[in-house]
Structure 1
Amino acid sequence: MCTPADRIHRRLDLLDAGLSRHDIDRAIGLGSLLRLRRGVYADAGTCEPRRRAAQHGGTLACVSAARHLGLWVLSPDDPLHVALRPHGHGHPHDDCTCIEHWDHDENDRFRPPPVHGILRQIFLCRGAEEFFVALESALHARKIGRSGLDWLTKNTSAVAREAIALARRDAESGLESLVRWRLRHLGLTVRTQVRIDTVGRVDLVIGDRLIVEVDGVENHGSAEHRHRDLLRDARAAARGYITLRFDYALVVHDWETVERAIHAHVQRQLHLR
């Protein structure tokens, strides 16, 4: 991730700022300025995704922009999403697989869209699930406030407004958000980040006593983590809780199995005291 100080420049803007053609050529020779294509340059610290977006004629958009901000996204290996101005044009480059978004209304075509604009792109491009996950991430990271939420409410559909109403600031992982979104139609009481004596904080509690823990792809692989999880589950059981634990692959790629397991417990009212 590059810093806010790292920028994309047009040659005309550099000349207007007082640099001469010799200054620009010298900066390129010293490596402090990188030539992306004719008339477009990047500061040396600018990250590769932003450089590629500028090569294409715009700036990061949709899930690519969200990932650059550190928000949760469900598809980390997507092609690059690029925001372009409605009356502009793209510049396909070598090995280009860019996905274009023609809704960029910033005066500077290389300035990233605001967070609420990025979230709307995700909703329109990737659907409600990925929108909800990124929205809860933005809320958790305090990257969107009341004005941004109001803008989204006015500029999206009823499904997006449902997601906005359900979204919380205390979700601590995209998997947790995804589970809550997919369970919403069951009409269950689902609490997040619940603290239980002797156990600690758990991801989700359905009803009174059904704990759902979701383990990210990077977590709980070692024997030490596995032992810690088993210890937490045993302590929870001693306090009358039942724990269901699912990993990334199950939640993302085999949701039917996850939902069946939760539904079976709910049907037998094991989530109630």
Structure 2
Amino acid sequence: MITGILSKRGGVIRSSELVARGMTRYRIQQEVIAGGLIRFKKGWLATPTADPQIVAAATAGLTLSCVTQAARLGLWVRRVPKSEHFGVPRPGSERRPDGSVIHYHAPIVPRERFALVDTIENVLMLVAQCEPFEDAVATWDSALNKNLVDRAGLDLLPLPAASKRVLHATDPFADSGLESYFRLRLNWMRLPLVAQAWLVGRRVDFLIGSRLVVQIDGAHHTGPQRDVDIEHDAQLRLRGFTVIRVSYAQVMHSWPETQALIMRAVAVGLHQPARLA
């Protein structure tokens, strides 16, 4: 049982919690002597293989949060931060690890007294405060897409203004961060823009208007996946759709040229129903 608890906690736990769960102080001491547990701070124990980020949080009296915890959860983060981001559960008792980013914003969901990782709601709130708008929306989209949280639940919380703005711009159907950026950057065109539209037996990333399909190729569009994509593109064209494929680099590093390409396609009417002769 104790092994399972430690595994869920990243290998770090307070000694008082082990006692509360029935482990005697004598047994704890024997585990420390044998090397099964390490007493790295007064009141705190860790296994030799404990998550170093969790150990750092406990050592500093902080809570892993913002983009650091978002990346740990597998959410889309444009740049995995070199500096670790923390929330402060007990202002005044914390220490600042070298090179870290400390967030003093009050949590929107109360933190447990000794929480070492933040709740998803607090993580997203801090991302909205810390990251540029597009990056924050991409992270929030990712959390919604993974069903780690839902929009209705978020809407009930006392969100700060920045979080409300991000929530309003989210789309739980965004399958990748690239799709989030693409959607946000084309909203100004005020054209029907359907993400993850179902066409000819498969989903496409975007359908603009009635027949302009835009597919965004990430790193997984190789090998057998690429072959399937080529076949689907052909089936779409046979049915009168125009298919434009763009890459990660085109969306993230060459957006003006990519936007010009989409605008030109719209200008010549490729998004409109085919005209009868």
Report the number of matched residues. 264
Select the residue among 123, 130, 134 that pairs with 2:128.
Answer: 123
CA distance, structure 1, for counterparts of residue 243 and residue 33 of structure 2 = 60
> Cα distance, 1:78 vs. partner?
3.8
Q: Give the structure 2 partner of residue 97 of structure 1.
A: 99
What's 1:212 paired with?
214
* Paired letter, 1:176: E
Deviates further, 34-43 or 172-181? 34-43
Summarize the alignment of residues 114-153 of structure 1 with structure 2, pairs less than 5 Å apart. 114-145=119-150, 146-151=152-157
1:6 to 1:253, Cα distance in 2 relative to 1, 3 A: same
Q: State yes or no: 1:161 paired with 2:164.
A: yes
Distance 2:227 2:249 in 1: 21
- Unaligned ranges ≥5, structure 1: none
Q: Distance in 1 between matches of 2:117 and 2:74?
A: 14
- Checking the alignment, whether the CA contact within 8 Å between 1:86 and 1:102 is kept in structure 2 is no
Matched, 1:182 2:162: no
Structure 1 contact 171–177 (Cα < 8 Å) conserved: yes
Preserved contact between residue 236 and residue 243 of structure 1 (Cα < 8 Å): yes
Using the TM superposition, name which of 228-237 and 35-44 deviates more. Answer: 35-44
Note closer, same or farther for the CA distance 1:36–1:102 as it changes in structure 2 (3 Å cut): farther
Tell me how far apart the structure 2 counterparts of residues 34 and 72 of structure 1 sit (CA, whole Å).
34
Quote the residue 1:261 is aligned against: 261
Given the alignment, which residue of 16, 27, 38 partners 1:23?
27
**How many angstroms apart in 1 are the aligned matches of 2:33 and 2:251?**
50
Residue 191 of structure 1 and its aligned partner are, at CA, apart by: 0.7
* Residues 101-136 of structure 1 deviation map (CA, whole Å, 9 limit, x = unaligned): 123552423343222211110010003212211222
CA distance in 2, matches of 1:81, 1:46: 19
Counterpart for residue 247 of structure 2? 247
SS in 2 for 1:177: helix
Q: Based on CA coordinates, which of the two structures has the bigger radius of gyration?
A: 2
Secondary structure (helix, strand or coil) at the match of 1:169 reads coil
Aligned to 1:249, the other structure's residue is in SS state helix
Paired with 1:258 and 1:212, the residues of 2 have a C-alpha distance of 11
**Structure 2 equivalent of residue 69 of structure 1:** 73
Shift of 1:21: 5.1
Give me the whole-angstrom Cα distance separating, in 1, the residues matched to 2:118 and 2:225.
39
Q: 1:204 to 1:19 in 2, by over 3 A?
A: same
TM-score (norm 1): 0.82
DSSP 3-state at the match of 2:139: helix
- Cα 1:117–1:238 change in 2 (3 A) is same
Give the C-alpha shift of residue 19 in structure 1: 4.9
Is 1:81 the counterpart of 2:85? The answer is yes
| TM-score after normalising by structure 2 | 0.81
Show the counterpart of 2:3: none
Match of 2:229 in 1: 229
Structure 2 Cα separation of the partners of residues 251 and 85 of structure 1: 38
What displacement does 1:64 show? 1.3
Q: Is the 8 A contact 1:213 1:243 kept in 2?
A: yes
Kindly provide the amino acid, as one letter, of the partner of residue 215 in structure 1: D
The separation in 1 between residues aligned to 2:136 and 2:93, in whole angstroms, is 27
